[in-house]
Chain A
């Protein structure tokens, strides 16, 4: 977390109204823009942002300062949007993914991932995912440090949005074999890291790729 955000959280935890005002000012606009991507009605957008701030206050005791505030806030916000769609019947049933409305605390993946109501899975699975997260964080940080932007873009499109190799090659000015090679190289690296940590890579299907891909 940025130093300025850490100080802000410290002041908020000490109960300073003025710090809360700065927090709301700092994050209100981006949250509003985020909700507007899903919901058009301005009053509903405002309600959801307001609920997100309230959710943040309720979650403060569990908030882990090693994680970015943005990520934490946007996750709360997404849960609020899911709750809204559930109430209005605009999405298939996603009740298992939302916060329990009677329970005001929101617990999140990553740092704030204590005894989650949402991710109440086996400790072992959680440890494996945390290990993978740690590896991914290191690899992404290394790519950024080395300014390997095209490689980072390629890997993100492959693994996060599952964009086809052909499209990635066109957009990034690579050949399709280059895209496939970056994918194989990355998967091999991740699997080696996981093996070193004694983590079972079998749990993550993306780490098994056929020779054609």
Chain B
């Protein structure tokens, strides 16, 4: 597993949906493995014409991803054992970046002070409100 990369992982890599550590390992392997380079090239061509594997469809549509509420319950350690094991595998082995980001955000909400969070929202709001106003004008 450590040195082998599945087609599903190669497609996740091309779509920036592969965990950073695994992506680095893949890049390292790509430098030495021409077969891997060819597979990556083939998958890139397939993605470019809109062909997706079952695994890619599952991943792209976040099938089975737990809700934020469930992730919050996971964080609190109050889920049944089997569900908790599913989420752990989803986060750590499947390496779902979306759920990892949601979990991190939930942790931040518990630990960061409200002023910092409000300042962040204000920055994003100010930098996007111009575009939003344009949308309002156009529609």
A contacts, CB < 8 Å to B: 2, 12-13, 15, 17, 20-21, 24-25, 28-34, 36-38, 46, 49-50, 53-54, 57-58, 60-61, 68, 70-71, 74-75, 78, 81-82, 85, 92, 94, 96-97, 109-110, 116, 118-122, 125-126, 129, 132-133, 136-137, 140, 143-144, 147, 149-150, 152-153, 156-157, 159-164, 167, 171-172, 190, 203-207
Q: In the complex, what residues of A have CB within 8 A of residue B67's CB? A: 2
Q: Is the CB of B50 within 8 A of A125?
A: yes
Which B residues between 46 and 83 are near A, CB-CB below 8 angstroms? 47-55, 57-64, 67, 80, 82-83
Q: Is the CB of B97 within 8 A of A37?
A: yes
Q: How far is the CA of A59 from the CA of B121 in the complex (A)?
A: 21
Please name the residue on chain A nearest to B6 by beta carbon.
A162
Q: How far is the CA of A105 from the CA of B51 in the complex (A)?
A: 22
Q: How far is the CA of A152 from the CA of B15 in the complex (A)?
A: 24
| 24 chain-A/chain-B pairs, Cβ below 8 angstroms | A15-B136, A15-B139, A17-B129, A20-B132, A24-B125, A29-B109, A29-B120, A31-B101, A54-B128, A57-B131, A61-B139, A71-B98, A78-B16, A92-B30, A109-B52, A121-B51, A137-B61, A137-B63, A149-B86, A153-B85, A156-B64, A160-B58, A162-B8, A171-B89
Q: Distance in Å from the Cβ of A75 to the closest Cβ of chain B?
A: 8
Please name the residue on chain A nearest to B117 by beta carbon.
A29
Q: Is the CB of A161 within 8 A of B8?
A: yes
Q: How far is the CA of A164 from the CA of B82 in the complex (A)?
A: 20
Q: In the complex, what residues of B have CB within 8 A of residue A140's CB? A: 58, 63-64
Please name the residue on chain A nearest to B100 by beta carbon.
A37
Q: Select one of A24, A118, A147, A149 contacting B128, CB under 8 A.
A: A24
Q: A54-B131, A163-B1 are in contact. Are A156 and B85 (CB under 8 A)?
A: no
Please name the residue on chain B nearest to A21 by beta carbon.
B125
Q: Is the CB of A164 within 8 A of B1?
A: yes
B108: Cβ under 8 A from any A Cβ: yes
B contacts, CB < 8 Å to A: 1, 6-9, 14-17, 19-20, 30, 40, 44-45, 47-55, 57-64, 67, 80, 82-83, 85-86, 89-90, 93-95, 97-98, 100-102, 104-105, 108-109, 117, 120-121, 123-125, 127-129, 131-132, 134-136, 139
Q: Distance in Å from the Cβ of B73 to the closest Cβ of chain A?
A: 13
Q: A29-B108, A31-B101, A46-B123 are in contact. Are A110 and B60 (CB under 8 A)?
A: yes
Q: In the complex, what residues of B have CB within 8 A of residue A61's CB? A: 139
Q: Is the CB of A119 within 8 A of B50?
A: yes
Q: A29-B109, A82-B16, A162-B6 are in contact. Are A172 and B97 (CB under 8 A)?
A: no
Q: Is the CB of A70 within 8 A of B62?
A: yes
Q: Select one of A31, A38, A171, A206 contacting B16, CB under 8 A.
A: A38
Q: How far is the CA of A46 from the CA of B16 in the complex (A)?
A: 17
Q: Is the CB of B93 within 8 A of A161?
A: yes
Q: Is the CB of B121 within 8 A of A21?
A: yes
Q: Is the CB of B59 within 8 A of A121?
A: no
Q: Select one of A21, A74, A162, A171 contacting B55, CB under 8 A.
A: A162
Q: Is the CB of B57 within 8 A of A133?
A: yes
